[in-house]
Chain A
Amino acid sequence: MIFRGKVWKFGDNVDTDAIIPARYLTTSDPRELALHCMEDADPNFVARMKTGDIILGGENFGCGSSREHAPIAIKAAGVSCVVAKSFARIFYRNSFNMGLPIFESVELVDAIKDGEEITVDSSRGTIAIAGSTKTFTINPIPPFMEKLIADGGLMKHISRK
């Protein structure tokens, strides 16, 4: 898969309360949740982002609550994928289980500025910054997780078994 978009760069330890504040958890409707994506980290994010844009995080992206509403909100907002230095573990599971593509690359996050455009090539495991010849390597995804993605998430994976 190829993901191309402008990056929205956030810092370390972006928690799920910032991704989707608890005050909106009285619904699980993806369209409703999408309206408040990243609201407590950047209140203008939803208004300014375009479909296909990419969220960039530092260390421990998605820490805190287990709410699957967080990856649901990101995906429904039209974000194509998330690249971070590292992910908190429940967010990591949730993303693979429900089908939000996420990638780890410390070097890319360090090298890139907010607003630049990148191309993520998940099958080749590389990320390129637009206007630059340098490519960055994505941390390899375990084979089981690749299978999850190929099957279309956890529920489809277990139905297939």
Chain B
Amino acid sequence: MGNTITEKILTAHTKLKKISAGQLINARVDIALGNDVTAPIAINEFIKAGGKKVFNKNKIALVLDHFTPNKDINSAQQCKAVREFALKQKIIHFYEGGNVGIEHALLPEQGIVLPGDLVVGADSHTCTYGALGAFATGVGSTDLAAVMLTGELWFKVPESIKFVIYGKLQKWVSGKDLILHIIGRIGVDGALYKAMEFTGETIGKLPMADRLSMANMAIEAGAKNGIFAPDAITREYVKKRAKRDYKFYSSDADAVYSDIIEINAGVIEPQVAFPHLPSNVKPINKAGKIKIDQSLIGSCTNGRIEDLRIAAQILKKRKAAPTVRLIVIPATPAIYKQALKEGLIEVFMNADAIISPPSCGACLGGHMGILAEGERAVATTNRNFVGRMGHTKSEVYLASPAVAAASAVLGRIASPEEL
């Protein structure tokens, strides 16, 4: 009996020869991530447990991206605590200020996470790195403390669901639409505790930015990780970024899956997840006339240069409706610079967009884009829970950059085809 890519990566990080789904293991961690919300608790636990020195200063990433630029005194205190720890421990991958980007866009971009790695992060969207063929999963702050101390962590080996995706994507349909469609189909706990393995001819041609969007939202189906077998597209993405060795793994032909789900991507339209669950998905032509107050293009799901290019293509020579606040958030400094170079920022500003520095703030209702009572936003983010972006009586509709851009122009949820 063969193994899945998830099982193989996990096995390679233990002393065991073979592992199987359901087994509890202790595994070595290649990269452990924390941010300004989750790292303070981890640091506190690390110190309380008598920790003096982290297991490896090259294998920890601390990214201050959530309530930054510092929202208030409390958030500044949290950042200060993490900064002092990072400097004392000589953490190599410490990001704050001008070099900070949204963690899950930043780490792949900088080659910090690589194919074959075992990555944990005290942030649920750590599963993003599965796009590179890594095993990556979100954990808590105490988990992060344990890894900082020992370099290891306990895992239950997940069963895998295999998604076989075929068919040619229609115009304006992206990885975001595919993953929203999948979550709509299986539900917010449809992959609870499991690995979501994305395969098939559509995936083979899917650009890395789209794969990152898909893996990013595996958690929204309850999954432990989302994963793509690395291929030529992965190699192209990684070769100019990697500063250390990496390894490509793939599933055996006779690997065991708890379920195999086939999806004809050719018939999927742009998707919109209605409040208040990411699984509450409708195709754009069934969305109806929903007036919006804000459109947000950015986040760890859709703040990459490819996303900004699509948005700019739609917003060029157009303006956001006067009743809509359009917020564009380039996810990292490198993306911001590239967007400037390509003239995208000018397109956005001419469209009356607000350009935000890289930050998670608006997506989680932290700061810089909060919704008032009764307001509605279309957002390229990943969660639309009650109160996610502000008041408990505000609403978030999740969609692709193309739909968010078209919606900003028309002042209601809309397809680019309607322009």
Q: Footprint of B on A, CB under 8 Å?
A: 13, 15, 17-18, 21-23, 25-28, 40-41, 59-60, 63-69, 72, 86, 88-90, 93-94, 97-98, 142, 144, 153-156, 158-159
Expressed in whole angstroms, the Cα–Cα distance for A48 and B149 within the complex equals 40
Q: Is the CB of A25 within 8 A of B37?
A: yes
Contacts of B44 in A (CB 8 A): 28
Q: How many A-B residue pairs have CB under 8 A?
A: 133
Q: Is the CB of B189 within 8 A of A60?
A: yes
Q: Is the CB of A93 within 8 A of B140?
A: yes
Q: Is the CB of A159 within 8 A of B50?
A: yes
Q: How large is the interface on B (under 10, 10 to 19, 20 to 34, 35 or more residues)?
A: 35 or more
Shortest distance between the CB of A87 and any CB in chain B (Å): 9
Expressed in whole angstroms, the Cα–Cα distance for A90 and B150 within the complex equals 20
Whether A18 touches B385, Cβ cut-off 8 Å, given contacts A28-B40, A94-B140, is yes
A-B contact pairs, 26 of them (CB 8 A): A17-B383, A18-B385, A21-B387, A22-B37, A40-B386, A41-B386, A60-B188, A60-B189, A63-B189, A65-B124, A65-B383, A66-B139, A89-B192, A89-B224, A90-B138, A90-B140, A90-B219, A93-B140, A93-B143, A97-B140, A144-B24, A155-B146, A155-B149, A156-B49, A158-B49, A159-B49
Whether A26 touches B365, Cβ cut-off 8 Å, given contacts A13-B277, A66-B123, is no
Contact pick for A26, options B78, B193, B219, B386, CB 8 Å: B78
Instruction: Tell which of B12-20, B69-77, B288-296 binds the partner.
Output: B69-77
Q: Is the CB of B387 within 8 A of A26?
A: no
Contacts of A97 in B (CB 8 A): 140, 142-143, 146
Beyond contacts A28-B40, A66-B38, A90-B219: 9 other A-B pairs, Cβ-Cβ < 8 A, are A13-B277, A26-B75, A40-B386, A64-B385, A66-B122, A69-B37, A90-B124, A93-B143, A154-B142
Q: Is the CB of B71 within 8 A of A158?
A: no
Task: Name the prevailing secondary structure of the B interface residues.
Answer: loop
Shortest distance between the CB of A19 and any CB in chain B (Å): 10
Shortest distance between the CB of B393 and any CB in chain A (Å): 10
Q: Does B352 contact A (CB under 8 A)?
A: no
